[in-house]
Structure 1
Amino acid sequence: MASGLDVQRLLIFREIARAGSIASAARSLGWTQPAVSQHLRHLERQAGTPLVLRRPRGVQLTEAGRTLLRHAEAIATRLRLATDELDALVRLRAGSVRLAAFPSAGATIVPAAMGLLAGRHPGLDVRLREAEPPQALGLLAAGEVDLAVTFAHPTSAPHPRAGFPSGPEPVEVGASDLVRVVVGADPLVLVLPRAHPYAQPADVPLPLNALAGEKWVGGCDRCTANLLALCADAGFVPDIRHSSDDYVLTQALIARGLAVGLLPRLALDASRDPGIAVRPVAGLGHRILYVSHHRDADRVPAVRGAIQALLDTMAPTLDHTPT
């Protein structure tokens, strides 16, 4: 009774059937004739029946041999297709990569990186999900995405105001098999109503404590914590009247004179209200932008290609990082 047929021996048997003799199959395979005969005998033992009849001028397939040959041909075809598909994946002619990114990155740098990746490797299927950093890392840990684009504020980043780490580093979210790589920097700026007395000159840094008496708009929990820490460094506690992680709403509140606030440059690149003014502030620093992935996932060609596209898109921000 046939059980556990060996795939290599099936392919050798296929070559015997195609060549018409054991000797011809051995020459085609580059093997010795005794080695090919031995594999055939082992396959016949596994099959439980003769597969060929030996004739003076070659071999003749038995009924069992003809039946098995059909399956051997199908296996050879599937293996060839598998080889072709793997080659396409390795050469980035095919494959997929799933990204999760926070909103302002999802509206700016990620589409640019996706466009760059599509131009380099048009066969790749790239998919994007919008998610704040904690949710993006959760999706990554659960295997629902391949890459998570996240950020850390200057007051919470492991390397605040002191340059950037190089190479992969552990992600501090309790998932030991996740690592992250720095892909860019996103400067923080002060956003004011256009008619505010401190709105000009736009190119001169303003001390943060000059806004100590203002009403402020905060952001998400992490953004608000960063605002509180920066203001504490400047010697005051901000009067936070509003909170929103929607950068469009935040700008709308500021444009109507209801508050001032801090926003990352990417949020302004994504959408800018005409009623606001922007000024640099000494000491605000920048958000560090990361791409996180499972350890060794960057060995997968599609993932590695996406990481490189993000690095190439964000490289100018690393070269011109504000202090």
Structure 2
Amino acid sequence: MLIFREIARTGSIAGAARGLGWTQPAVSQHLRHLERQAGTPLVLRRPRGVQLTEAGRALLRHADAIATRVQAATADLEAMVQLRAGTVRLAAFPSAGATLIPAAMSLLAERHPGLDVRLRAAEPPQAVAQLDAGEVDLAITFTHAGQTPPGTGELTRIPAGQDPLRLVLPRTHPSAGPPDTPLDLRALADDTWIGGCERCTAHLLQTCELAGFTPDIRHGTDDYVLTQALIARGLAVGLLPQLALDAARDPRVAVRPALDVRPRTLYVLHHREAEQIPAVRSALRAILDITATHTPAPTG
């Protein structure tokens, strides 16, 4: 089953052989044996690799679960022998990676100094893809109100708090203050806007259309430092999450709550069996402890 999973992951028998350090005939022999046991072809041989059949795709889901259970068993044994030593790999979207996750990693280091924690910055779709591919153990993601939460039914998805969205304007803008009073988006209907990542831009469009106008989006970047730099120069206005402002706040911009704009929801995702791995379980607990106590910094 694990050999078959490697064939599916690499897309070819040759790729699986290279990954496993075996010969192609040996890998082919194991595949033929598995297909005889299954009673049906699992792959279609193509000139440049293989394509999974419907039966192969069904079996792959079980192979992934087996691989995770094998990893869980190995990690359990290592934790017992090495006093909870182990590695946990995280993928987090940039603003969480600059705020919540360093705090969680620090807390985890205090609780379990023997753990090796590794972080990758990745937007939610990429983080989920890395989790599916077995490249990370936990994916920290978000979804905007009205959007489908990330991940599939094969993954465990845990809500981890909310992140308010704030309107960011030049300090010279007529609507720049007062900072604690929510601002109606319609007050900015005639302004030039900055869009973010694909999902964030889609949310901005939907939110503004619900408010009764279509925003004039002239710029697009998921870099919240660049976004604020453009706004500070009076070139646009934008809608940024509080975590992005916590990570890097440009003193030249004004920030106001957005009226009737719902916050985005944070999630931590993992494979169902992964929580049995001590390092993953400890990291998950630290992340949830930090997100439970996190409060956005005051705006103004």
In the superposition, the TM-score normalised over structure 1's length comes to 0.65
Aligned to 1:141: 132
Specify the code of the residue in structure 2 equivalent to 1:180. R
Using the TM superposition, give the Cα deviation of residue 115 of structure 1 relative to its aligned residue in structure 2, in angstroms: 0.4
Using the TM superposition, give the Cα deviation of residue 157 of structure 1 relative to its aligned residue in structure 2, in angstroms: 4.8
Gaps spanning 5+ residues in structure 2: where? 1-74
Aligned to 1:260: 237
Aligned to 1:308: 285
RMSD over aligned CA atoms reads 2.1
Using the TM superposition, give the Cα deviation of residue 172 of structure 1 relative to its aligned residue in structure 2, in angstroms: 3.9
Choose from 178, 191, 194 the match for 1:201. 178
Using the TM superposition, give the Cα deviation of residue 206 of structure 1 relative to its aligned residue in structure 2, in angstroms: 1.1
Task: Provide the C-alpha distance between the structure 2 equivalents of 1:178 and 1:256, rounded to a whole number of angstroms.
Answer: 43
Choose from 145, 155, 171 the match for 1:154. 145
> Contact 1:155/1:229 (CA < 8 Å) preserved in 2?
no
Choose from 109, 112, 116 the match for 1:118. 109
| CA deviation profile, 1:64-86 (whole Å, cap 9, x unmatched) | xxxxxxxxxxxxxxxxxx99844
> Contact 1:194/1:277 (CA < 8 Å) preserved in 2?
yes
> Contact 2:91/2:122 (CA < 8 Å) preserved in 1?
yes
Aligned to 2:92: 101
Using the TM superposition, give the Cα deviation of residue 317 of structure 1 relative to its aligned residue in structure 2, in angstroms: 4.8
SS in 1 for 2:164: strand
Structure 1 segments (4+ residues) deviating >6 Å:
none
Q: Does 1:240 align with 2:217?
A: yes
Q: Does 1:216 align with 2:193?
A: yes
Q: Does 1:87 align with 2:64?
A: no
Aligned to 1:27: none
> Contact 1:186/1:317 (CA < 8 Å) preserved in 2?
no
| More RCO (CA 8 Å, sep 6+) | 2
Residues 187 and 126 of structure 1, relative CA distance in 2, 3 Å threshold: same
Aligned to 1:168: none
> Contact 2:79/2:278 (CA < 8 Å) preserved in 1?
no
Using the TM superposition, give the Cα deviation of residue 245 of structure 1 relative to its aligned residue in structure 2, in angstroms: 0.8
Task: Provide the C-alpha distance between the structure 1 equivalents of 2:252 and 2:164, rounded to a whole number of angstroms.
Answer: 21
Task: Provide the C-alpha distance between the structure 1 equivalents of 2:230 and 2:237, rounded to a whole number of angstroms.
Answer: 8
| CA deviation profile, 1:31-78 (whole Å, cap 9, x unmatched) | xxxxxxxxxxxxxxxxxxxxxxxxxxxxxxxxxxxxxxxxxxxxxxxx
> Contact 1:185/1:317 (CA < 8 Å) preserved in 2?
no
Task: Provide the C-alpha distance between the structure 2 equivalents of 1:84 and 1:100, rounded to a whole number of angstroms.
Answer: 25
> Contact 1:179/1:294 (CA < 8 Å) preserved in 2?
yes
Q: Which has the larger radius of gyration?
A: 1
> Contact 2:78/2:86 (CA < 8 Å) preserved in 1?
no
| CA deviation profile, 1:205-232 (whole Å, cap 9, x unmatched) | 1111111111101111100000011101
SS in 2 for 1:231: helix
> Contact 2:79/2:86 (CA < 8 Å) preserved in 1?
no
Task: Provide the C-alpha distance between the structure 2 equivalents of 1:97 and 1:225, rounded to a whole number of angstroms.
Answer: 33
Residues 177 and 201 of structure 1, relative CA distance in 2, 3 Å threshold: same
| CA deviation profile, 1:140-187 (whole Å, cap 9, x unmatched) | 1000110111100123155xxxxxxxxxxxx544xx421211112111
Aligned to 1:227: 204
Aligned to 1:288: 265
> Contact 2:229/2:250 (CA < 8 Å) preserved in 1?
yes
SS in 2 for 1:87: helix
Using the TM superposition, give the Cα deviation of residue 95 of structure 1 relative to its aligned residue in structure 2, in angstroms: 1.0
| CA deviation profile, 1:243-263 (whole Å, cap 9, x unmatched) | 111111111110000000000
Task: Provide the C-alpha distance between the structure 1 equivalents of 2:154 and 2:147, rounded to a whole number of angstroms.
Answer: 21
Matches within 5 A, 1:266-281: 266-281=243-258
Task: Provide the C-alpha distance between the structure 1 equivalents of 2:223 and 2:232, rounded to a whole number of angstroms.
Answer: 14
Task: Provide the C-alpha distance between the structure 1 equivalents of 2:250 and 2:179, rounded to a whole number of angstroms.
Answer: 16
Task: Provide the C-alpha distance between the structure 1 equivalents of 2:146 and 2:215, rounded to a whole number of angstroms.
Answer: 16
Task: Provide the C-alpha distance between the structure 2 equivalents of 1:300 and 1:253, rounded to a whole number of angstroms.
Answer: 45
Specify the code of the residue in structure 2 equivalent to 1:263. L
| CA deviation profile, 1:252-301 (whole Å, cap 9, x unmatched) | 11000000000000111111111101000121111111111111211211
Gaps spanning 5+ residues in structure 1: where? 1-81, 159-170
